[in-house]
């Protein structure tokens, strides 16, 4: 599935609209260079299609490109990072 992911900086979220339904990941700023990824949501009818993974990956790439550290406050984000070691160095100690 080709997914267009948007970053709403003012709303502090990454999201995609699929068939008129919205999937998203929200975050909070914790200081100048730390993002807390706190919630991921995909509508039930769209689950199992790697949508959350693509949104989280986009958010992690944004963090890397902009020199942010991340706090995986959401269990899905924590699991994603554990399964994708290339993002582990982004986790705030």
* pTM score: 0.94
pLDDT beneath 70: ranges in the chain:
1
Dihedral sign of CA atoms 11, 31, 33, 57 in order: negative
Angle, in degrees to the nearest 10, between helices 75-83 and 51-65: 80
Q: Among 1.10.3720.10, 3.40.630.30, 3.40.50.720, 3.30.460.10, name the CATH number for the domain at 6-90.
A: 3.40.630.30
pLDDT digits (tens, 9 = 90+) for 42-58: 999 999 999 999 999 99
Cα-based distances in Å from 43 to 25, 40, 51, 87? 12, 10, 10, 25
Cα separation of 25 and 13, whole Å?
A: 6
């Amino acid at each position: 599935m080709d997914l267009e992911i948007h970053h709403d900086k003012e709303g502090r979220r990454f999201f995609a609209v699929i068939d008129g339904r919205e999937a998203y990941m929200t975050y909070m700023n914790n200081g100048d260079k730390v993002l807390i990824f706190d919630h991921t949501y995909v509508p039930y009818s769209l689950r199992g299609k790697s949508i959350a993974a693509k949104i989280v990956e986009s958010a992690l790439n944004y963090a890397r490109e902009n020199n942010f550290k991340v706090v995986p406050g959401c269990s899905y984000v924590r699991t994603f990072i554990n399964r994708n070691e290339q993002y582990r160095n982004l986790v705030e100690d």
